[in-house]
Every structure is written in C-alpha cells, then in structure tokens.
Amino acid sequence: MKKFVGTVIFSCILLLTGCQSRSGYIDELTGYAWQAEFKGGGQVSLSFSGDTAALHLENGGESETIKGKYLADQSQLIIFDPSLGQNYGFDYTPQGDTLLLGMNGSTVTLEKQK
C-alpha cells in the first residue's frame, strides 16, 4: 500500500508556483476540506477534524488513507499515522480556492470544498 500512496501522489503531479502572504495559512489549511479528481478516475482528498488530519487516496479501485494527529506550521504539514507506523511530511501553499500540496519536490493541486 505504501507504493500505492507514493504512486498516486507522484503520478498526479502538477508543478505550480505562487506567492501569497503567509499569515493565516494554518487556518486556511485546516478550516476546509480539499480534493482533486483526475481524468483517470483517481482522487485525493485532505480533511481535518480537531487534532486529526486525513489524506485519502483512491485509484483503480484501491484506496489508502493516511490518518492521524498532525502538526502544521506556515508551510509544512506532518501527519503521524499510527496504523501505518509512518510520519508523512508535506509542503503546502493555499492559493485562494486551491491548495498546493507537495512531497519530495512534487506537487498536486487540490480544490477547496465549500
């Protein structure tokens, strides 16, 4: 499943850059659910509830969820998933109704869910 998680994140890559004031990034990140749907049917979603974050990945009938307590600062998100025994670190940049979520130099764009 770890290969699946990495494959989905890296196969859905969009290299985008942008700039915005860093104030309020944590509230923007955690105050909404985020989602991306891809032409091949894959989906990525990120949501927050209390002190828990969940990153859900679906592709080809398979799915994986990284879920656990999280830490966030103005540019990085770390999810501690005890069920997988892993910590996952992401760079993030909110840009209005989109969120750039990056890992290991690759970025995927998620849309704000209202």
Q: What is the pLDDT of residue 111?
A: 97
User: Which residues make Cβ contacts (< 8 Å) with residue 76, sequence separation at least 6?
Assistant: 89, 90, 91, 92
Domains in the chain, number = 1
pTM above 0.85, yes or no: no
pLDDT in tens, 57-91: 999 889 999 999 999 999 999 999 999 889 999 99
Which tens digits make up the pLDDT trace of 18-39?
333 344 789 999 999 999 999 8
More reliable by pLDDT, 51 or 8: 51
CATH number of the CATH domain containing 44: 2.40.128.50
Q: What residues contact 19, with CB distance under 8 A and at least 6 apart?
A: none
Residues of the domain holding 73: 2-16+23-113
Report d(CA 64, CA 90) in Å as an integer.
17
